[in-house]
Structure 1
């Protein structure tokens, strides 16, 4: 059984070699000698240091394939690029910073052997910053509310999926990728296991507040709950305004001398104008994403694919319809070389 390890790389020139070598040693120890590494450089802003290290790994090891993206696409889209080029029966996603440690891999592989389609590793004790943990909590609430994520399902960027899940997921062509949303609409046969979260060895997380907000907003593409919320709010405030109007009429009849207040009227106008603009923005966000999807904005653009034998590889730009056929035509001799 071929195992594909997909690692999105962002300013990881000082850690990625250790990740690859430790993971390779762990797979050999577990009795899984057939594996490949798909390392995706997400246009790291480090003067090419990460890409040079990926090229060196591809030159040193026949089981390493390095992919260079032409622009920064985000972690989830970088993983999607790796999924398109992976050929394994089991596909494993890891981080490049040693926090998703190779020593914990056996927990995920043991769990998926029980018959699950997807297995997540989760961290009872996270080593992220307080800001990142808060962002993770917001993501947990967002996914639960919008796409019905099970309450007891805990997730992270460390997971294992089966090939049929990959085959379905890469059919998604929108640039607004959210892997949890794709996984949850593919199967509910999902498990999670507790694993140890290690301290980050070098640098700091590449996630900024802007990137976290962009990631969370991507979940909108998998749910119509925000639009339904707009409708419910419209009903609520319509009823409220009718009741308010009745109350004003009754008070005016009871006390004809009552003066209607200009400040309260302006507050009401400003409040409801803001509410209308908010929901128009929500609708506009959906329409904008539909427009970009119809214009075939790519998830990722591959500049270069590097392997040890430097064999040419079919260029991909986020239009993923041919990948399933490519993976099905992989010869057994290619696997034996690993």
Structure 2
């Protein structure tokens, strides 16, 4: 099918493999460390190309001014992150009626999945998704065996089985709370498969056996969407809580370092050099890198969350990126 998008997110994304790895797959601690290191290297390196950089630092109060601004930014940033954390926590709070409604919704959905699978689904998120994906593969195989099909539909069914097997293998043993569960779910391009399935059901010349098998497949694809979105939402909540905690941990040493520079550091007192860079400049650059660490933590987490959100804006058979092979949700 010429306009069929790739199944894997890496293949249908317009970004390079390296960029997508940094945005999604890399450990957030690695990204944070990279940002902090980049700030240190860039700040220290600028002293080699800026004329009389050391003299400027010695004869002006630019260091004090900069770190005073960073102190204010750090306090403001921590306040905003705490507000965000309270917003996330507020989703878990509510009257007994609200909690009961949430419980009823969760149980109703699990009952729907039990009807789909013919057995009680797993309580573990990765196994829960794995069971749905494997059921989709079985139903796609049943459609393929129901009778002669056109080339486009056969291509979609074959791709569905292969895609489901790949995602199922990646979900096997994955632990919720880590990104791997959501990452594997993102690689199952259900929206295109549902679109093709429903388009095939519009035909009047379908044999009855094929139509029943297609309707069964469409039903399985429909339940995968809310299941993925539910676990994606839970993952976002867990990530935002972890973000708040990490920012708080980074903010305390950042404030101490910033205050220390303002109170005690005199760049003019440093006359030595290391690698051709004044040691005072190196000290100030290292301090600046430490002080921006809370922002680096925030940036590293938000990059992943924003990337996932951008790839899953719609639910259902809507293709938001109409760029041929890069399309798909």
TM-score normalised per structure 1: 0.27
User: Which is bigger in relative contact order (C-alpha 8 A, separation at least 6)?
Assistant: 2
Instruction: Name the structure with the higher helix share.
Output: 2
TM-score normalised per structure 2: 0.27
